[in-house]
């Protein structure tokens, strides 16, 4: 595909106006983006163009039937200015898994990988080197084909846009275990990174914020008895010295950070269990003092510790541990991502 990847460079760069010491998350965008169109039954050759607005017909099906999916990735720069990705093929596979569920044509691997690496070579100077900083990468596909009839579109756009971002410090969060609303249901699209999944979370989350919480812990759609995800992240619970997370399903996203944490925990000799976690079990453990940690796991924060949770008008505080599993596991992952430590798992991918 290399010979067919058209590149149109931006006439001027915005980089000189960026304060890399004060970067918020995902709000400043690099000079270029990758665009690839699906037309006439096939994905056309990708091209790299200056970052710019899109022009879409008002009848484009993205506006009416929500055919959109996305991924979240990061590029990291080490002390020698080498650029690294973390398990990028997992993001590609999950993008296509989401595409299939939303009736979007699957993307060829070379379009994703060559397009992404070429874009990062062009935007290398945008990757910050401050501690904890990275270049956030957002690959996404939307339905650009037109028509008010309720059916899959016949045209789509695949885009990769990038945003330099500072260290993502969410701090320790206070969460509310949800008892009424559901994030996903059996047979639904909860396992896909579909835009609508996140839109549906905003209202219940806002209700929780109004009650003094930062985020929602989602429970199953049937009985609201089993913990599933923490906001937009997978969730881990430590009872005594065992780290537990729920199994993936058609309701739960197959998180790349989640999988990595499980592998690293096993390598560290930490006991792990992948099984259903009931709210009752978590509450009883909190009362007994055996609930040591809860944390979310995802691309943006890697690990987001939970300080306390609310359930049925009661709040339960978690202990503040000096040597937590959350901090140990986060360090192991970030040391691999930034090329500071051995990568015995083969997860690191060099952009060259």
CB distance 20 to 128 below 8 Å: yes
Buried b (16+ CB within 10 A) or exposed e, 314-338: eebebeeeeebbbeebbebbbebbb
Which positions ≥6 away from 124 have C-beta within 8 Å?
Answer: 77, 81, 83
pLDDT at 35: 98
pLDDT at 168: 76
pLDDT at 1: 54
Over the stretch 21-55, which tens digit does the pLDDT of each residue have?
A: 999 899 999 999 999 999 999 999 999 999 999 99
β-strand pairing of 6-7 with 291-298:
unpaired
Residue in 328, 247, 239, 251 with CA at minimum distance from that of residue 292: 239
Confidence class for position 209, pLDDT limits 50, 70, 90 = very high
Confidence class for position 169, pLDDT limits 50, 70, 90 = low
β-strand pairing of 6-7 with 47-50:
parallel
CA 18 to chain centre: 24
Per DSSP, the three-state class of 116 is helix
Token pair listed for 201: 């979370």
- Give, rounded to a whole angstrom, the gap between the first and last alpha carbons of the chain: 16
pLDDT at 142: 98
Domains defined for the chain, CATH in brackets? 2-165 (3.30.470.10), 173-337 (3.20.10.10)
pLDDT at 170: 62
Strand partners, 194: 69
Q: What is the mean pLDDT of the chain?
A: 96
């Amino acid at each position: 595909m290399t010979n067919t990847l058209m590149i149109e460079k931006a006439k001027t760069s915005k980089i000189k106006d960026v304060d890399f010491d004060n970067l918020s998350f995902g709000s400043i965008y690099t000079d270029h983006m990758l665009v690839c169109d699906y037309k006439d039954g096939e994905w056309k050759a990708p091209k790299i163009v200056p970052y710019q607005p899109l022009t879409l017909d008002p009848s484009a099906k993205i506006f009416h039937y929500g055919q959109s999916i996305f991924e979240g990735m990061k590029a990291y720069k080490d002390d020698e200015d080498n650029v690294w990705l973390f398990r990028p093929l997992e993001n590609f596979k999950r993008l296509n898994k989401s595409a299939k569920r939303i009736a979007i044509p699957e993307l060829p691997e070379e379009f994703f990988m060559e397009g992404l690496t070429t874009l990062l070579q062009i935007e290398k100077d945008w990757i910050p080197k401050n501690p904890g900083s990275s270049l956030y990468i957002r690959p996404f596909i939307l339905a650009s084909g037109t028509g008010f009839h309720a059916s899959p579109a016949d045209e789509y756009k695949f885009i990769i846009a990038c945003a330099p971002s500072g260290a993502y410090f969410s701090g320790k969060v206070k969460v509310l275990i949800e008892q009424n609303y559901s994030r996903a249901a059996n047979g639904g699209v909860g396992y896909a990174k579909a835009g609508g999944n996140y839109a549906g979370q905003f209202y219940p989350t806002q209700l929780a914020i109004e009650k003094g919480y930062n985020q929602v812990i989602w429970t199953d759609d049937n009985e609201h008895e089993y913990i599933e995800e923490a906001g937009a992240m997978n969730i881990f619970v430590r009872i005594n010295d065992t780290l537990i997370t729920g199994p993936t399903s058609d309701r739960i996203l197959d998180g790349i950070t989640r999988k990595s944490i499980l592998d690293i925990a096993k390598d560290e000799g930490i006991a792990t269990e992948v099984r259903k976690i009931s709210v009752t079990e978590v509450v009883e453990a909190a009362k007994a003092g055996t609930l040591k940690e809860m944390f979310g796991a995802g691309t943006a924060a890697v690990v987001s510790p939970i300080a306390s949770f609310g359930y049925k008008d009661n709040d339960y505080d978690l202990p503040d541990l000096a040597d937590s599993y959350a901090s140990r596991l986060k360090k192991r992952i970030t040391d691999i991502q930034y090329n500071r430590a051995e990568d015995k798992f083969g997860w690191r991918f060099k952009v060259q």
